[in-house]
Amino acid sequence: MLGRLPLPQRNLNEAGRLADDSEMATELSRPLFRRVESALDRLRPALVADGGNVELVDVDEDGVVSVQLQGACATCPAQSATLRYGLEASLRSELPDVTSVVAV
């Protein structure tokens, strides 16, 4: 009797079907998504103190973080400064994989 050869590993999605490239990219980016969410949780109290908030929408494979500013932050004239010098600077210093932060 011949020994069985190991089958190649396949990436399956939650339904048990073969995952396509976009599903695999999302799966690979989840650890960064979770780290960004944790970092935002540490930054969020300063935004909430001024009547605003931030929601993490997405982190793509290039390290671009998409956020939605909420409350007072959504209409604040200093919104771009908050994004660039508050959120982006903090995230990039803590998480080198983050390349930029954009509002959606």
Contact 66, 58 (CB under 8 A): yes
Higher pLDDT, 7 or 95: 95
Average pLDDT, the chain: 83
Q: What sign has the CA pseudo-torsion 15, 19, 24, 25?
A: negative
- What are the backbone angles phi and psi of residue 69, rounded to the nearest 5°? -80, 140
Each residue of 47-65: pLDDT tens digit?
Answer: 999 999 999 999 999 999 9
Q: For 30, how many CA atoms within 13 A lie in the half-sphere containing its CB?
A: 6
Is pLDDT above 50 for 29? no
pLDDT of res. 21: 55
Q: Which neighbouring-strand residues pair with 70?
A: 53
Q: Which fold has domain 21-103?
A: GMP Synthetase; Chain A, domain 3 (3.30.300)
Rounded Cα distance, 15 and 86, in Å: 40
Which tokens sit at 75?
Answer: 């209409």
